[in-house]
Amino acid sequence: MTYWIRRNLGIVSEDEPKEPGIVILDVRDLRDEANPPQNIIPKIAAGVWLVEHGMAVVVQCQGGISRSPGIAAAIIAYMDKIPFEDALNEVQDKVRRAMPEMSLRDSIKSALRTMNEQHLERKG
């Protein structure tokens, strides 16, 4: 089952059938633990770009509990310029079982800080 968090952003587990016309953002290569920012940033950036260009995006991991909700929350946090935990609350309101591992959350927050710093440097 696809869990839609927003009109064009959702999460799905690996074994769920995919809906036609939806772009899959596969995050199964991330670990369900600490990850270096250089592994997370491209996932967030791709998701942001796809959503901002009007595409329906589903973030996919193995079980749809930790990695995909975490990256979906990161996409929301970056786009809306809100704290990661606020974005995660939005995800958890739609997907009750969403519970990213703490070390993954810390890695995502670090990646978001890096992305925001790089954005400011480009503007500055």
The full set of domains in the chain, from first to last, is 3-123 (3.90.190.10)
Global pTM exceeds 0.85: yes
pLDDT at 118: 83
- CB 27 within 8 Å of CB 59: yes
Question: In 3D, which of 32, 33, 28, 29 has the Cα closest to residue 15?
Answer: 28
pLDDT at 80: 97
DSSP type of residue 63? S
pLDDT at 122: 72
